[in-house]
Amino acid sequence: MTLNPENWNQLSSEERYVIEKKGTEYPFTGFYDKFYEAGTYVCKRCESPLYTSESKFNSGCGWPAFDSNIEMNIERVLDADGRRVEIICRNCKGHLGHVFEGEGFTETNTRHCVNSISIKFIPY
C-alpha cells in the first residue's frame, strides 16, 4: 500500500535529515545492515515497495545492500557533484542512498547502498 502525500508517515528529525535533506546515517549503525528475514522493504515515508529480501546481501559496507529493486519504484539521479548516483523513492522522492555498479558482489554487478532509516520492513 502506497500512501498519498496527505497521509505519509510522520518522520523523526533523524529520518527527515536523511530522507528529505539527503543525509547519511553512520555506517554499521542501521537496524537493517545485518537483518535477513523474509519480506519486503518499503519506503519509510510513503510505504512504496522498494526491495525484497531475496535481493538483499552482505556487502560489508555498513549499510543494507540490495542487488536489484522492485521495478519502477526507484529512481536514479546523478548527485550534484557528478560522482555518484543517488537512489530515491519514485513515489515521494525521498532519499534512500546510492547505487554502485561494477563491484562484482553479485551476478547483477549492482549494489544499492541504502540507509536503514529510509526503509521499513514488512514480513511476508
Give the tens place of pLDDT for each residue, 33-73.
999 999 999 999 999 999 999 999 999 999 999 999 998 99
Q: Catalytic residue at 113?
A: yes
Rounded to two decimals, the pTM is 0.94
Alpha-carbon distance 57 to 54, whole Å?
A: 8
Asked if the structure places residue 2 within a domain, the reply is no
Q: What is the mean pLDDT of residues 15-30?
A: 96
pLDDT category of residue 80 using cuts at 50, 70 and 90: confident
Question: Of 43, 89, 92, 113, which one is the catalytic site residue?
Answer: 113
Residue 6: the pLDDT is 86
Q: What is the mean pLDDT of residues 80-93?
A: 94
Record the cell numbers describing residue 103, joined without a space: 563491484
- What is the average pLDDT score of the chain? 95
Residue 27 sits in which domain range?
A: 12-123
Asked if the structure places residue 7 within a domain, the reply is no
Tell whether the model's pLDDT for residue 1 goes beyond 80.
no
Q: What is the CATH number of the domain that holds 18?
A: 2.170.150.20
Cα Rg, the chain, nearest whole Å: 13
Tell whether the model's pLDDT for residue 94 goes beyond 70.
yes
Asked if the structure places residue 83 within a domain, the reply is yes
Asked if the structure places residue 72 within a domain, the reply is yes
Asked if the structure places residue 28 within a domain, the reply is yes
- Beta strand residue intervals within the chain, DSSP E: 39-43, 49-52, 56-57, 65-66, 74-78, 85-89, 95-101, 110-114, 119-123
Residue 118: the pLDDT is 98
Tally of structural domains, the chain: 1
Asked if the structure places residue 78 within a domain, the reply is yes
Asked if the structure places residue 108 within a domain, the reply is yes
Residue 41 pairs in a beta bridge with 51, 121
Asked if the structure places residue 32 within a domain, the reply is yes
